[in-house]
Amino acid sequence: MATRFDRSLRLGYGISIVILLLVSLVSYLTLQNLLESNRAVEHSSEVMQKLEKVLSVMKDAETGQRGYLLSGRKDYLQPYNGAYQEALQLTGQLTKLTSDDQRQQINMQDIRRILAQRLAILQQLVDKKHRAEPIAPAELDAGKAAMDDLRQAVGKAENDEQVLLRERSAKLNHYIALVPGFIILAALLAVGITMYSYRKVIADYREKERLRRELESNEEETQALNEELTAANEEITAANEEMTAINQELTEAREELAAHNESLEQKVVERTKALQDSEQETQALNEELTAMNEEMAATNEELLATNEDLAESERRLMGLIEELRQADERSANLAAIVESSDDAIIGKNLDGVVTSWNRGAEQIFGYAEADIVGRSILTLIPDELQHEEPQILARLRNGEKLDHHETTRRTADGRLIQVSLTISPIRDKAGKVIGVSKIARDITEQKRDEQRKNDFIGMASHELKTPLTSLTALVQVLEHKLKTHSDPFVPQALGRARLQTKKMSSLINGFLNVSRLESGKLEIIRQYFDLTALITEQIGEISLTVSSHIFHFEKQPAIELHADREKIGAVISNLLSNAVKYSPKGRLVEIACAINGDEVQVSIRDEGMGVRPQDLPRIFDRYYRAGSEHTLHISGFGVGLYLSAEIIQRHDGRIWAESEKGVGSTFFFTLPLR
């Protein structure tokens, strides 16, 4: 509850902070655009001022040139003399200012060209005046036309700059129009999320209070139950005291009876002597003896009843004592088994703290019991695997049990060992999980043996594959050359040899794939392909070599998958081969393929011998073959279904089988469509 409370609080404040940051970012970007727009306005103003300056310089140059032409006074040429350099300098500045605008660059080139042309005409007229040559009206018209071109070029550049300024202003106005609405929306959203988070926090707080009250109520009930148990113990103690008192009373009664018997015997002796004196006394004595005998008989009956009650109580007490003795023996035997076991038997609570530690655990992990009890079980788990423990504890709290979970643990000296874990929940009388029992077995050497075995199988398979490839090629060449041999036995024998080499190649490929799978080198190469076409192709290939069975497949529309086409084809081929191998000749093998939700399901059904129920859970294990009198003559090493299951699982699919002994089997697998 505290975790959910913190999560709700953090989520609400986190989203509010994110929205605040987003609003700040948008405000910052808007401010940046405002500043950029202001700089653009200043930039455009500077460009237009310099364009006007260029036009003004040229006007001054033209005015000075005309004054000189009319008066012949050289002081009129003073504005003209520096006009060319100043105009070039201004156009250079304009070219730099408009370097980010391709249109303005073209305009600047036109202005520079017209300036050069206009200044050349002005200089030509000045030179003629200086040489006292006549100036034709056409030359004056050419100068005027060049000046008009300059005005047009400058005007065009100013218009383009005005267009650019309007575009930037429109973009800024767009930002200015959107930002207030966005900020208001973000503020409303932040307020809404804050209110929602507040309500969630209040609801979580109320739930926490309710759970606290329930916990207090449960504690009160537990206290009442403890008081009842205490009262029951007191009653049992009182009953034991009563039984002790009854035993004491019985002892006293026996003593009184013995004393009474002695007194009676004394009286009998005295009465016997008195009988010799008087028959009347004898008669009275007989009556008295009869009464005393009756009293003694009644007393004996009472004593017998008391003895029976005491015997029954004693039997019950002895039964309880025997049950306690047997429970002690069972506990002692269990403790002896735990202590003498070579496997590590560890107890821990639901917080992962070690509560018990046997001798096997000391031998495997190297920690003494005094050093590890009370410490976290994470001491034994490598850093990269410590995420496993919370997941395991969560499953155990739900009452689940983990069988043969293989993982890695760390010993006291820092070594990493492979272990197989069997973890079970410990429950109290009410069925509540109160702890965890863990049995750990060191399988490091077993894993090394498996690795050595896999290495040998991989090496042997590689060594066998090369000569087998040559042998297959040789058989195919002989079969091709001798297919028209006069002796029909020769092509038949070569055909059988080819089939046998193909079977051998399939077995070797299976062993190689197992070796690659164990070493993590079985690569899944995904591509898009049509599953229906692949099934049809595999049925066609097996039909070339198998004529003893009937294959039925209702072709479906194209089903596109993104998977390893070659390996999925190997799975289908293996299931078809098994259907042929384990069913009599002439029987039907039915293949089906259908889309089920977001996955496609493929099934292959045969009418063979079937699989026993006890074999079904293990048929996908490595090197496992279901043993029966019918499979003794069927070849195989138990790797096909193992490889098929691994390939399907690596495609995030599922594979399973349904079977009835003597009726047939159906193998299913599914693959995700995406």
Decide if 367 is inside a domain: yes
The stretch 561-578 carries a mean pLDDT of 90
Give 100's DSSP letter: T
Residue 49 located in a structural domain: yes
Residue 615 shares a structural domain with residue 478: no
Q: What is the pLDDT of residue 551?
A: 92
User: If you count them, how many residues does the chain have?
Assistant: 674
Task: Give 161-193 pLDDT, tens digit per residue.
Answer: 777 777 777 776 776 677 677 677 777 776 777
Residue 159: per-residue pLDDT: 82
User: Per-residue confidence at 474, pLDDT binned at 50, 70, 90?
Assistant: confident
Residue-level pLDDT at 259: 72
Q: Quick one: pLDDT at residue 671?
A: 95
pLDDT of residue 339: 59
pLDDT at 530: 94
Residues 574 and 667 in one domain: yes
Does residue 290 fall inside a structural domain?
no
Residue 391 confidence (pLDDT) above 50 = yes
The pTM of this model reads 0.36
Q: What is the pLDDT of residues 487-519, one digit of tens each?
A: 777 777 777 777 677 666 666 666 556 555 555
493 to each of 161, 380, 574, 639, how far by Cα in Å?
93, 62, 25, 29
**What pLDDT score was predicted for residue 319?**
65
Could you read off the pLDDT of 321-366 as tens digits, one per residue? Answer: 666 566 555 555 555 555 557 788 999 898 889 999 998 899 899 9
| Placement of tokens 């084809």 in the chain | 569
Phi-psi region of 582 (alpha: psi -120 to 50; beta: other; left: phi over 0): alpha
Residue type, 34: L
Q: Which carries the bigger pLDDT value, residue 4 or residue 132?
A: 132
Domain count, the chain: 4
**Which tens digit of pLDDT belongs to each residue from 68-105?**
777 777 776 676 677 767 777 877 877 887 777 788 78
Across the range 144-163, mean pLDDT stands at 76
Q: Which of 151, 175, 207 is the last residue of a domain?
A: 207
Q: How far apart are CA 7 and CA 341, in angstroms?
A: 45
CATH number at residue 399: 3.30.450.20
pLDDT digits (tens, 9 = 90+) for 218-266: 777 777 766 776 666 676 666 667 767 766 776 776 677 667 667 766 7
Residues 497 and 399 in one domain: no
% residues pLDDT > 90 (the chain): 12
What pLDDT score does 462 carry? Answer: 55
Question: Across the strands, what pairs with 410?
Answer: 416
Identify the residue whose tokens are 């808007």.
30
- Do residues 420 and 353 share a domain? yes
At which of 162, 191, 207 does a domain end? 207
Average pLDDT over residues 184-208: 75
Residue 381 lies in a domain: yes
pLDDT for 296-329, tens place per residue?
666 666 666 666 766 676 676 666 666 656 655 5
- Domain membership flag for residue 100: yes
Determine contact, residues 80/68, Cβ cutoff 8 Å.
Answer: yes
Distances (CA, A) of 553 to 278, 536, 582, 644, 659: 127, 8, 19, 21, 20
Q: pLDDT above 70 covers what percent of the chain? A: 69
Average pLDDT, the chain: 76
Is there a single domain that holds both residue 479 and residue 350?
no
Amino acid in position 364: I
DSSP code for 412: T
Q: Is residue 319 part of a domain?
A: no
Q: Is 476 exposed, middle or buried (0-12, 13-18, 19+ CB in 10 A)?
A: middle
CATH number at residue 469: 1.10.287
Q: Are 557 and 416 in a shared domain? A: no
Query: 589 - beta bridge partners?
Result: 551
Average pLDDT over residues 142-168: 75
Residue 34 has a pLDDT of 66
Tokens of 647: 């390939």
Residue 635 lies in a domain: yes
One-letter amino acid of 473: A
DSSP string, 253-318: HHHHHHHHHHHHHHHHHHHHHHHTT-HHHHHHHHHHHHHHHHHHHHHHHHHHHHHHHHHHHHHHHH
In a domain, 279, yes or no: no
Whether residue 69 is found in the same domain as residue 170: yes
Where does the pLDDT of residue 632 fall: very low under 50, low under 70, confident under 90, or very high at 90 and above? Answer: very low
Predicted pLDDT of residue 250: 63
One domain, residues 437 and 535: no
- The type of residue at 488 is P
CATH number at residue 666: 3.30.565.10
User: What residue type is 504 in one-letter code?
Assistant: M
Per DSSP, the residues of 107-127 read HHHHHHHHHHHHHHHHHHHHH
The answer to whether residues 469 and 417 belong to one domain is no
Over range 624-643, report the average pLDDT.
Answer: 60
pLDDT surpassing 50 at residue 56 = yes
157, 186, 207 — which closes off a domain? 207
CB contact set of 350 (below 8 Å; sequence gap of 6+): 393, 396, 397, 433, 434, 435, 436
Same domain, 368 and 389: yes
Instruction: Supply the DSSP string of 611-663, one letter for each residue.
Output: --TTTGGGTTSTT-----TTSTTS---S-HHHHHHHHHHHTT-EEEEEEETTT
Q: How confident is the model at residue 61 (pLDDT cuts 50, 70, 90)?
A: confident
Looking at the fold, whether 498 and 369 belong to one and the same domain comes out as no
Question: Are 412 and 467 members of one domain?
Answer: no
Q: Which domain range does residue 367 map to? A: 341-442
Q: Which is higher by pLDDT, 499 or 621?
A: 621
* The pLDDT value given to residue 572: 93
